[in-house]
Amino acid sequence: MKKEIIALLLAGGVGSRLSILARLRAKPAIPFGGIYRIIDFTMSNVANSNIDVIGVLTQYKPLSLMEHIDNGRPWDLFGKTRLVEILPPKTGEEVSDWYKGTSDAVYQNLGFIEDFSPDIVLILSGDHIYYMDYNKLKDYHMKKKADVTISLIRVPFEQAHHFGIANLDKKGRIIEWVEKPKKPKSNLASMGIYIFNTKVLKNALMESASKGGVDFAKDVIPLILKKKLKVFGYEFNDYWRDVGTIDAYWNCNMDLLRKNSGLNIEHWNIRTNLFVRGEVGAKPSAYIGKYSKVTNSFISAGCIIEGIVENSILSPGVVVEEGARVIDSVVFHNAVVKKNAVLLKTIIDKNVKIGKRAFIGYGDALPNKILGMNLSTGITVIGKNTILPEGIIVGKNCIISSGIDLSRSRLKKIESGSTL
């Protein structure tokens, strides 16, 4: 089946900086904005751009991601000429068969590309929050008669060392490329979005692999630039966030509640798979009690609110009992906040139970003793299926791991910066 363009979505990252949120699931499968997952944004961009073949390259903890994507029907990517295909590493022969990096993942799936004989291949990342019409990127690529085009966005200079950084000439051609420079000369950062002429991609991947290269930013792009091929930068000026840290993830969720943040899901036509394994049928509408108070918050279907919710995002099935307060927090599916408990700037994973009169997010914002400055802005994270007892006090910048039941513990206080 011949296609002009196909997309490959890299969704196998570990997401270690997101700590326990990514411990039991792939980073792109993490819930976002109540009813969505992080990967929904890239999947929806593909569908909205009328690209009808996409390969999703999975590796780390892929089950929930695979269940979520299913057959692609929620994104209208299902049918005789429309396809989503999950592409896990070809394990079973040797450990070396696992994907070693971004370019190695695509290299191992050259056969999938050849099945569709595309003129160009779009390489995407599944762990960013943004809206983009990829047709504009494609049109720019073709107008410039480029071999490769990299989508770029300006970031604060103090953050530039986290990204691949490009310098452009007056025509938009990339004349210098440095991966995570210590002293960046530019703040034009790679968005992890590449568009390649297929022949150029195939040749570059084969040559890079023969030299031990496994990564687009570190290996493939420098190799192509050395060959004096035409590599252009496409500057993107709209909302885009890398949600690779707990702070970035929390802030991006809060952007949903901030006026003029640029994050506007309603107008972006973001689609998702609302089916959740183990649940039967759709959840009913949210119930907001007579004496409850909800301010500047996103409340999903199936929530029961009897207490106070301020500036927070609640996924389906969350229960906030009478007298409880949920403030500046992100709460995943089916969590329960018992009577008179307080959540302050907390991220709570699925099926967590917070006991009566518990206080989460109390005290001074001491940095986490393990994650350090990667968890220092006062956010506490509680892992999936954890139970916290009545009256417990949990400080700021704490991590409480998944599946812990403290209901029978004598523990009364967890100090700020602790990991349990």
> Residues comprising the binding site?
99, 164, 179-180, 190
**233's tokens:** 């930068």
Residue pointed to by tokens 């720019």? 140
Q: What contacts 178, CB < 8 A, 6 or more positions away?
A: 164, 165, 184, 185
Kindly report the number of other CB atoms within 10 A of residue 406's CB atom. Answer: 18
Q: Which residues of 192-210 are buried (b: 16+ CB within 10 A; e: fewer)?
A: bbbbbbbebbbebbeebbe
SS3 readout for the chain: CCCCEEEEEECCCCCHHHHHHHCCCCHHHCEECCCEECHHHHHHHHHHCCCCEEEEECCCCCHHHHHHHCCCHHHCCCCCCCEEEEECCCCCCCHHHCCCCHHHHHHCCHHHHHCCCCCEEEEEECCEEECCCHHHHHHHHHHCCCCEEEEEEECCHHHHHHCEEEEECCCCEEEEEEECCCCCCCCEEEEEEEEEEHHHHHHHHHHHHHCCCCCHHHHHHHHHHHCCCCEEEEECCCCEEECCCHHHHHHHHHHCCCCCCCCCHHHHCCCCCCCCCCCCCCCCCCEECCCCEEECCEECCCCEECCEEECCEECCCCEECCCCEEECCEECCCCEECCCCEEECEEECCCCEECCCCEEEECCCCCECCCECCCCCCCEEECCCCEECCCCEEECCCEECCCCECCCCCCCEECCCCEC
d(CA 257, CA 255): 5
**Which residue, 276, 241, 248, 184, is CA-closest to 376?**
248
User: Which residues participate in the annotated binding site for alpha-D-glucose 1-phosphate?
Assistant: 99, 164, 179-180, 190
